[in-house]
Amino acid sequence: MHSSTLRRFHESRLFIASIVLLALATLFWPAREMRSDNFVFYFPSSRRLLPFETIQNTKYLPLLQILNAVGKVGGLQEKKNSLKVWFGSAQIELRPDESKVRVDGTFLNLPQPVRVSNGQWVVPVDFLTTVLPRLTRQTVEYQEGTNRIFVGDVKPSSFTVRLDPLANGARLTVQFTEKVAVRTASSNGKWVMFLGDHPIEPMEAGYHFQNPYVSDLQFDDQDGVPKLVLSPTSSGLNFYPMLAEGGKILLADVLKPPPAVAQTPQPGQLPATPATTPSAAGPTLPPSEELPAAPPGPPLPVVVLDAGHGGAEDGGRSRDGLLEKDLVAQYVARVRLALLATNQYRIVLTRTGDATASFEQRALAANLAGALYFLSFHAGDVGAASPRITVFSFQPAAPPAPVTKKTPLPNFIPWAQAQEAHLDASRQLALALRKQFALINGVNVDTPATAPVRTLRSVNASAVAIELGRLAPDADSTPLTNPAFQQQVATAVVQALATLEKGGT
Amino acid sequence: MSLRAKIFLLILLVVLGAATFYLRSLAKRVFIEPTRHAEETARAKLSEFALQSKKGSSQTATLYFPSLEQGKLVPEGYSITWAEANVDRVRQVVLALAEGSHQGLRRVLPASTSVRAVFLAPDGTAYVDLSNDVLSEFPPGIETESLAIYSLVNSITMNIPSVKKVQFLIQGQEVETLDGHADLTAPFAPDPTGIKSGS
């Protein structure tokens, strides 16, 4: 072989080796995860969309756009490694890759560093709660994890969601805190319900259902227009939306189409022409007009059923791998059906499916619904005996201050102390439940106890936590998953509430 | 520049890049981790000091251990040579509870739990900062968490009269619950009603 050919062979081998090395380096280079989306700033009479980037799982917003949205930037001085911004009477100083922001000489710490992305100074979303309130005299309300912020005197409404099975479909009930004007449209095989102009802060961004007709409901305001997007499980279903209680309740029935010959309209309440689910490739229907309001039904007492944990919060776990969040959801489902069968209560669930719900969201669901009773279901290690039930009412960390004649009555109940006004009623509820649980054969029922249960703290209603046991890593969950036992618990709850309604315990 | 030189330069750049990353991790190991280690050692020494106070005579403190079967706290005598400072006494009580009952009662805290810091406020509130080991092997539940909290609160306040309330922190942070159930956002006052009567 020629020496020049040999050299070329070695060079090409070296070249290939270099390419492979570079490819490996690129492969293992720490990925800087980036994604763009919108963040909505709601003001009393306007709203503004700001694009945000997600950098290493943190949302980043452009600093100057934030400041210009809430006020006016007076001037700025940008150097290679710092940025000074004059905003109103305040002076802000930032440095790239540093978590400290200097505002009028005071250092404020952000959990993540300031960055310069594509030549633009961006700040982590915590800037909105850490620094922004110092810069503006307007109130700033931001709920962590969401993509919206309310600046100034903005009172967003909210809503709760429930899905009930029907004989040939499912009924979605969305209860709003304020009246809404709904118009519907369909798009890509989904139904979109536009909720008017009023800002809305949802308690959950999405709800997933284990239902043969409806798979999920998502709230979306990425374009500044609040809307709900309902996804059916299959095409060809009919959608019958209607408003009730003057626009505070949206009822949407998702029904299997009736046989072609025997097509009869639904009794009284539904629009004459239902919107049919288009296939994904099919044409979208034009938005329908504002929906007619239906006559309000008689008000029923509200029972809020709270299945503990959910989502990433598993709670306890049994030896056979059963999670507390799944077990208590089974009990809640049974109790719900048993209570609905009485036609005496309206039921509100604090979570549907395996959704994550914070303690505040659970209390909010109960307080917005005007709950009469709040029952929170849990399972845990309760000692050797199983099945065992203990009913807990709330115990404040320190005894509530005694009310004297001189103590002025508060105009507002502090959110964190809402349950303290119901301690006696909650104990009555615990006693009534305990009495009925004790009638179940083979169950160990403890005397009602008190405990600082976090879920109950802000509930403005008679509230208890029912702990079932024994769910522990060294215990078998069979006694708790027995359907007959679960049904007996549900029946006992119905009996206890009925007794209380009649004035007994 | 010849092709060979270009390739050499390219490889050199890659090697330099890798070396920079290695140096960064090396610097982290050399300069940052020993600081953490030193902090842990200091805390361990504080705990040891609190437990091994030899001044004064040994006294019997009453500690409260949970009994899930009874849903109550059961008192147990425990010999402690009290330290002089109240913050050290708080540490002694917590560590004694972590050591476990001598009568076979349920353990309140895992043995690996360490007390990161104790502060005593002028209003009698003791701030007890526990390591996050407290959550390891902890069985979540309303009853287990509630009994664990009052085991600590009653044991501290009833043995150290100047402590009126106890606020718990975990790993230096205020937390919402102990393990998903019991509210830890406010300082706890002692609750004698949860103690087994007739003990």
- Say if B107 is an interface residue toward chain A (CB within 8 Å): no
Task: Give the fold, CATH level 3, of A36-151.
Answer: Copper Amine Oxidase; Chain A, domain 1 (3.30.457)
Distance separating alpha carbons of residues B183 and B131, to the nearest angstrom: 18
Query: Tens digits of per-residue pLDDT, B118-128?
Result: 999 999 999 99
Query: DSSP class of residue A349?
Result: E
Does the beta-carbon distance from A15 to B3 stay under 8 Å?
yes
Top-confidence residue, A259 or A44: A44
What residue type is A152 in one-letter code? G
Average pLDDT value for residue range A47-62: 86
Strands (DSSP E) found in A319-471 = 346-349, 373-379, 388-394, 444-445, 449-451, 462-469
What residue type is B86 in one-letter code? N
Statement: residue A268 has pLDDT above 50:
no
A164 confidence band (pLDDT: 50, 70, 90): confident
Can you give the pLDDT at residue A354? 80
Can you give the pLDDT at residue B42? 53
- Say if A253 is an interface residue toward chain B (CB within 8 Å): no
Phi, psi dihedrals of residue A98, rounded to the nearest 5°? -120, 140
In the stretch 133-152 of chain B, residues with CB closer than 8 A to chain A read: 139-146, 149
Helices (H), B52-103: 86-99
In the stretch 61-90 of chain B, residues with CB closer than 8 A to chain A read: 68-69, 71
Query: Tens digits of per-residue pLDDT, B6-55?
Result: 889 999 999 999 988 888 877 776 666 555 555 555 555 555 555 555 55
CA B38 to chain centre: 17
Query: Tens digits of per-residue pLDDT, A402-438?
Result: 666 666 656 677 888 999 999 999 999 999 999 999 9
Can you give the pLDDT at residue A376? 97
**Please, what is the average pLDDT of chain B?**
84
Does the beta-carbon distance from B7 to A15 stay under 8 Å?
yes
Top-confidence residue, A502 or A18: A502
Q: What is the CATH number of domain A159-259+269-294?
A: 2.60.40.3500
Q: What is the CATH number of domain A302-399+412-501?
A: 3.40.630.40
Q: State the ipTM, two decimals.
A: 0.76
Of the given ranges (A13-17, A69-73, A122-126, B35-39), which has the lowest mean pLDDT? B35-39
Top-confidence residue, A494 or A259: A494
Can you give the pLDDT at residue A158? 85
Query: DSSP class of residue A400?
Result: P
Does the beta-carbon distance from B11 to A382 stay under 8 Å?
no
Statement: residue A80 has pLDDT above 80:
no
Percent of chain A with pLDDT over 70: 86
CA B109 to chain centre: 9
Distance separating alpha carbons of residues A211 and A448, to the nearest angstrom: 36
Statement: residue A31 has pLDDT above 50:
no
Does the beta-carbon distance from A451 to B187 stay under 8 Å?
no
Smallest CA–CA distance from B66 into chain A, residue: A383
Residues of A411-430 as b/e, b for ≥16 C-beta within 10 angstroms?
eeeeeeebbbebbebbbbbb
Top-confidence residue, A393 or A179: A393
Average pLDDT value for residue range A43-58: 85
Distance separating alpha carbons of residues B191 and A89, to the nearest angstrom: 51
Q: Report which of B178, B162, B13, B11 is spatially closest to residue A16, judged by C-alpha positions.
A: B11
Our CA-based measurement puts residue B44 at a distance from the nearest CA of chain A, in whole angstroms, of 29
Can you give the pLDDT at residue A30? 47
CA atoms within 13 A on the CB side of A214: 30
Helix axes A324-340, A483-501, angle to 10 degrees: 50
Residues of A226-239 as b/e, b for ≥16 C-beta within 10 angstroms?
bbbbbbbeeeebbb
Can you give the pLDDT at residue B55? 58
Query: Tens digits of per-residue pLDDT, A293-327?
Result: 334 445 789 999 999 998 888 888 888 888 999 99
Average pLDDT value for residue range A464-477: 89
Partner residue facing B176 (CB), from A395, A454, A469:
A454
Query: Tens digits of per-residue pLDDT, A205-235?
Result: 888 888 888 989 999 888 888 889 999 888 8
Report chain B residues whose CB lies below 8 A from the CB of A469: 141, 143
Can you give the pLDDT at residue A177? 83
Of the given ranges (A74-78, A81-85, A364-368, B42-46), which has the lowest mean pLDDT? B42-46
DSSP labels, A230-298: EEESSTT-EEEEEEEGGGTEEEEEEEPPPPSTT--PPSSSS-SSPEEPPPTTSPPPPPPPPPPEEPPPP
Can you give the pLDDT at residue B170? 92
Which whole-number Å values give the CA distances from B82 to B92, B119, B167, in the listed order?
8, 17, 22
Can you give the pLDDT at residue B105? 85
Domain limits of chain A? Answer: 36-151, 159-259+269-294, 302-399+412-501
Can you give the pLDDT at residue A284? 32
Average pLDDT value for residue range A385-399: 90
Can you give the pLDDT at residue B49? 55
Statement: residue B171 has pLDDT above 60:
yes
Smallest CA–CA distance from B140 into chain A, residue: A316
Residue A105: how many other CB atoms lie within 10 Å: 7
A14 confidence band (pLDDT: 50, 70, 90): confident
Which whole-number Å values give the CA distances from A410 to A205, A413, A421, A425, A432, in the listed order?
34, 7, 12, 20, 31
SS3 A151: strand
Of the given ranges (A158-167, A179-188, B78-87), which has the lowest mean pLDDT? A179-188
**Please, what is the average pLDDT of chain A?**
82
pTM recorded for the entire structure: 0.56
Q: What angle do CA A311, A313, A315 make, to 5 degrees?
A: 130
- Say if A316 is an interface residue toward chain B (CB within 8 Å): yes
What is the Rg, in whole angstroms, of the alpha carbon atoms belonging to chain A?
Answer: 28
Partner residue facing A316 (CB), from B69, B140, B187:
B140
Partner residue facing B69 (CB), from A22, A384, A472:
A384
Does the beta-carbon distance from B141 to A453 stay under 8 Å?
no
Which whole-number Å values give the CA distances from B95 to A256, A412, B47, B125, in the listed order?
64, 42, 8, 19
Can you give the pLDDT at residue B121? 95
- How many helices (H) and strands (E) are present in chain B, helices listed first? 4, 5
Distance separating alpha carbons of residues B13 and A165, to the nearest angstrom: 65
Q: Report which of A175, A293, A292, A185 is spatially closest to residue A239, judged by C-alpha positions.
A: A185
Can you give the pLDDT at residue A36? 47
Q: Which residues contact B129 (CB under 8 A, 6 or more apart)?
A: B115, B116, B117, B118, B119, B168, B169, B170, B171, B172
The pair of three-digit structure tokens given for residue A212, joined into one six-digit string: 């043969």
Can you give the pLDDT at residue A32? 43
Average pLDDT value for residue range B139-156: 92
A334 confidence band (pLDDT: 50, 70, 90): very high
Statement: residue A47 has pLDDT above 70:
yes
